[in-house]
Structures are given as structure tokens and as C-alpha cells.
Amino acid sequence: MVYQGSKTRYAQYIVPILQKTINITNTETFIDGCCGGCNIIQDIKCKNKIAIDLNNDLIELYKYAITAYKEGYLDTAFPTKITKEDWDKAKSGNGESWYRALVCFFASYSARGFSGGYCLNASRNYYIERLNNFKKQIPKLIDIEFICEDINYIHPSNSIIYIDPPYKNTKKYDINLSFDYELFWDSVRRLSKKNIVFISEQTAPNDFKSIWNLVAIRNCFGSQIKKANECLWVYKDNMYILNEKGVTIN
């Protein structure tokens, strides 16, 4: 799914690290704590897979699409066109929860959702392109449990957890414009006591260790505008566990 901050380009690097940890530690539960476009969890193999996100409309869209796929009506489950009037109504909160997410993410410009504005480019049907890509993704998601929850207040144990939060010093998601980074990192420390937690971010507090990084080029309208360091972090105590288990990252 097209989603702000999507890890589509980096999944080829991140998924093998997560999968190797799951396999070597014989972990039965994998949790994607800010699932977004589900571009990481869709390729993970684990007995139990849980996708969590704070955006209830997004979660309901996944649930609706999976039900449509299982019951055989996925091809006819969604409208074939979203007008500007439809978009305005959905932005105002009208329509079922899954429908609002559909309009927000597939009929809006860029990956920002409603804040990106309605897709007005008549030469390209962004809505149908994104919808068709989403339909192709659904078979990979049917074994996932979807939950709307704040990652700061969950209490799992014996799990591998991956979290891709809104990056610090970048434009925030509409769903959470006042993201509390201090609370978030404290929550990761708490979760790391009973789980192995991986975080995607450009920077992290000093008690977190980077186990993978890649210099990424950020593009805007075809022009390179800056370089950024994509990193995967773990809490220092989790790093000790990975070393003891023989999980060689590189």
C-alpha cells in the first residue's frame, strides 16, 4: 500500500534481519507496531502475526478487504471511481470507516492522505493504480490479526516486534500530529525487557544500537534534495541477547 514513510524500498534489507531473528530464537509471534502500508509484515513468516496501527480507518480497510478476498468478492468490493465530491465528503468524516481510508490513501495526492489534496492529474488514474496494487497485496495479509491500538500501551511478551514510527524532525502523520518521542522510546525500553524490538528511525537515544543502516536519497519531483540515514535500532539489552543467540546481522 502507498503510505507515508513506507518501507517498500528497504524491505529487502529489513525483512531478512527480522526473519533470521524469528527463526534462530524460535519466536512464535511477530508484531508490527506501526503497520502502515504493511510492506514489512506481509513478507514475514511466523506462526502468529499481528499488525497494529493507531489509525482505526486504516485497520478497518484491511479487515474489509481481507473479508472480501476470503468470501470471493474482492474484485467488486470497491468503487471504480472517486470524485472530488466523494473525496470532500470522506475528508469530512462521511462514509464507513474502511471507505474513508480507501479515499484518504488511494484518491489523495502523494502518500500523505487527505493533507496531500485530491488527485487531480487527469493523465494518470492514481486511484485505480493504488487500488489494483492493494488488491494484489491482500493475499499476503490473510494470516495477520489487525488491531487498532497505541504501541505505547501494549504489553506483549516473547515476541519479535518491529516499529516504524513517525521520524523525528519530519512532517508528522495526520493521525498523530503531536507524537511524543520521549514516551515512545521509554515504551521501547519497556517492551525490550520481554521481547526483542527493532526500530526504524534515522536517530535514536544513546542506549540504542544501530544494527543496519543505508544512506537513502530523498527525491522531490525528480530532483535529489538530500541524503538521509535509514537505520534499524535495538535497545542495548536486546543487542546482548542477539549476540548470545548467535544472530549475525551483517
Q: What would the grid cell of residue 45 be?
A: 513468516
Q: What would the grid cell of residue 238 be?
A: 536486546
Classify strands 196-201 and 160-163 as parallel, antiparallel or unpaired. Answer: parallel
Asked if residue 5 belongs to a domain, the reply is yes
The verdict on 116 and 163 lying in the same domain is: no
Task: Report the b/e string of 11-28 with b at 16+ CB within 10 A.
Answer: beebbebbbebbeebebe
The verdict on 82 and 168 lying in the same domain is: no
Q: What is the pLDDT of residues 46-67, one digit of tens each?
A: 999 999 999 999 999 999 999 9
Task: Return phi, psi of residue 214, to 5°.
Answer: -150, 130
Find how far residue 244's CA is from the centre of its chain. Answer: 29
What pTM was computed for the model?
0.90
CA distance 206 to 192: 15
Asked if residue 122 belongs to a domain, the reply is yes
Asked if residue 123 belongs to a domain, the reply is yes
In total, how many domains does the chain have?
A: 2
Question: CATH number for the domain including 190?
Answer: 3.40.50.150
Q: What is the pLDDT of residues 190-220, one digit of tens each?
A: 999 999 999 999 999 999 999 999 987 655 4
CA distance 42 to 248: 23
Domain span including residue 96: 56-140
Q: What is the pLDDT of residues 149-197, one digit of tens each?
A: 999 999 999 999 999 998 886 555 555 567 899 999 999 999 999 999 9
